[in-house]
Structure 1
């Protein structure tokens, strides 16, 4: 089953969603088409499995970092939140870009919503612990603004401007974004 998911990911990156087919995925994975259909009823189901695996990898990175920042001061924690978002987007960025374009097509928005809610909840938990230092009354709104800003900024930077953003410039971007959300 892992061969099928990996083959699907490679084909999506190389050829895109429209050129991926169950026959091509079976061929690339070395699995018969009949065996493919035992595990996955369609190309969309395979893409959904790729999305789920990629999201799990990202959340593993995010969760491990967020437990480390729970007691850090606000400025350091915000910088780490932004840095982990950059790290998460750098996990197979070509695949991330393709999946970001394909998710609506395969009807996996519910899984994406669960993924976003978990990010939001983890961030909100940090803010709750730092409430006394924040001077913010509405933690729900603050969490929404910060998570949405970090996600949009890092997604765009890593996936669409990585050639311009050298490592030094990426560090500067992380610093600027951390100052932005801290404000």
Structure 2
């Protein structure tokens, strides 16, 4: 059985120069993933694009998988910050408004560097940290569950955990495929129509 690649950084960059080196390596990895794919993202290739030596790369990262994990973490942080900002206060809104906002935010999340998102979601082997690429991560499942709990009396469903799974997974599947795979959905007008229809689908499932 093949051993799993090392994906934890060797050390954390603390000085400005070392942070700049790490940043260049992570950005180079992301560019190569988008333009050439995962299989072409060797450590030699990443170092060359970043303009640093392979030796410098290995000071911080033990493998290309570790660099990809760093790209995933940075991409996920960007999405998470946007989601938190957009969904602040959603717990107190009506079901119709809250669900519409959730779908809208899911679309925005997939529009955060969509080419990179597609590569990370579909090309990367699922190993360790690499398994953690999620647009709606556990935090957002928890938020949706908390929302349903607060509005339980307005719902027709009893199993809130199952309902959260059904709703969040449905929103993720619809928005992922629309933004990343269907060119017909790229216009603002069509995307607004998709958000309206998806929100109607989810609210119809939830409300009494």
Instruction: Check whether the contact 1:48–1:106 (CA below 8 A) recurs between aligned residues.
Output: no
Please give the per-residue CA displacement for 1:79-111, whole angstroms capped at 9, x wherever unaligned.
000000000000000000000113335443543
User: 1:6 pairs with 6, 14, 27, which one?
Assistant: 27
SS at the partner of 2:40?
coil
User: 2:58 pairs with 16, 25, 37, which one?
Assistant: 37
- 1:141 to partner: Cα distance: 0.8
Structure 1 unaligned residues grouped into runs of 5+: none
**Match of residue 100 from structure 2:** 79
Please give the per-residue CA displacement for 1:13-43, whole angstroms capped at 9, x wherever unaligned.
0000111111111111112111110110001
Q: Residues of 1 paired with 2:37 and 2:126: CA distance? A: 12
Q: Residues of 2 paired with 1:13 and 1:134: CA distance? A: 42
**100-109 vs 15-24, which deviates more?**
100-109
User: 1:56 pairs with 47, 57, 77, which one?
Assistant: 77
Instruction: Check whether the contact 1:47–1:106 (CA below 8 A) recurs between aligned residues.
Output: no
**97-106 vs 1-10, which deviates more?**
97-106
Q: Residues of 1 paired with 2:191 and 2:107: CA distance? A: 9
Instruction: Provide the alpha-carbon RMSD of the alignment.
Output: 1.7
- 1:66 to partner: Cα distance: 2.1
Aligned length: 182
**Match of residue 13 from structure 2:** none
**Match of residue 12 from structure 2:** none
Instruction: Check whether the contact 1:89–1:158 (CA below 8 A) recurs between aligned residues.
Output: yes
Q: Residues of 1 paired with 2:125 and 2:165: CA distance? A: 22
The two structures have a TM-score, normalised by structure 1, of: 0.93
Q: When you count helix as a share of all residues, which structure comes out higher?
A: 1
- 1:117 to partner: Cα distance: 1.8
**Match of residue 201 from structure 2:** 180
Instruction: Name which structure has the greater RCO, CA cutoff 8 Å, separation 6+.
Output: 1
Structure 2 unaligned residues grouped into runs of 5+: 1-21
Instruction: Check whether the contact 1:75–1:182 (CA below 8 A) recurs between aligned residues.
Output: yes
After the TM superposition, list the runs of 4 or more consecutive aligned residues in structure 1 that deviate by more than 6 angstroms: none
SS at the partner of 1:103?
coil
Q: Residues of 2 paired with 1:16 and 1:46: CA distance? A: 14
**Match of residue 145 from structure 2:** 124
